[in-house]
Structure 1
Amino acid sequence: MVFGKSKSIIDALGYHLSIAGVPCGACTSNLPLSGRISRNSQHASLIPQWQAACKGSEAAVVVLGDVGRSPRMCNHAIMLAEAGYRVKIFGFHDSDPEIPLTAYEPIEIVGLRAPPEMRSLPAAVQLPVKFVWNVFTLFFTLFFRTSHLHLRVILMQNPPGLPTMLVCYLISRLKTARLTVDWHNYTYSILRDKYNLEE
């Protein structure tokens, strides 16, 4: 499932919960972009059902970048935690998020090891080295730091689409989890602007 700025993360969560037998068809309309649900809203009656369905389940939020500079994904993590998931955020822990994630007990930040500094090298060298580094780092971290039995949702941020999407897809297949992509931008446009590549 892929969704972008026009839809809420709750659309994806509603889909996952429908698999669990929770009647959540009414919760995919007129919801705030952040995916947060007010207990005074028309959807409040669904909160206990969602929490019951998600209890014991795990969600992985993947940010192949600085977690502290990804408030959108942090909001998604909070929403998932409030729905009853145990949430692990995978990313580079270069700075602390402005959102106090430590106040939410089910949320854990799992730091990824950043690739070595290679600014002095040409893009033709940097890109393949970083690609291989991130593939192995992200794959093994996700594989060993998520539950083999209880991982239900993998929510990844795009960009970067490569290798994030490839690795998350493999993990989702290995652990029978649902993969959801928060589509921010096209990967090729980010690479083009960052490395001054031609069209």
Structure 2
Amino acid sequence: MNTALLLVDIQNDYFQGGRNELVGADIALARAQEALSLFRDKRLPVVHVQCVLLEENATFFLPDTEGIGIHERVSPQSDENVIVKHTPDSFFQTELQSHLESLQVKRLVVGGMMSHICIDSTVRAAHRLGYEVVLLGDACATKDLVWNDTVIPANTVHDTFMASLDGTFAQVTNTAGLNDMI
């Protein structure tokens, strides 16, 4: 089965000093880097997704800023496609699906940021489009959320989204077992 790695929004604004720092971003980055190395070693396709927000009220991923850059530790190589998106769903109004079809990809291994928005949206869209999805839970990160004046810790947010995606929209696993799956 043709399998591709999809790294979603692993961009500078999500790391220390960025405009929207996430909890556990460095740990997720290290796991994403492991998956990337594995895919490169096996010469399997890698696709990077880069978000650029165009809304007037956007506070991060602003055009022409360092924050939109893909983190240097997972920087795309010349043979790796970069898909630019402007919404949480990596498939919406992008060339992602046509690119994956051109490679005859049937299974996606996904990692990136943020678990509760872009990862959730992209995984659900991929499933709807017929892809088999493997989600690397330890290669994703998110942030604390606030609802009804209650802070919901990032770990709870992340775990809730991984649990809701697992089994229905994706097989959620950790990077350590990836080599045996591809």
Q: TM-score, normalised by structure 2?
A: 0.47
Structure with bigger gyration radius: 1
Q: TM-score, normalised by structure 1?
A: 0.44
Structure 1 or 2: larger helix share?
Answer: 1
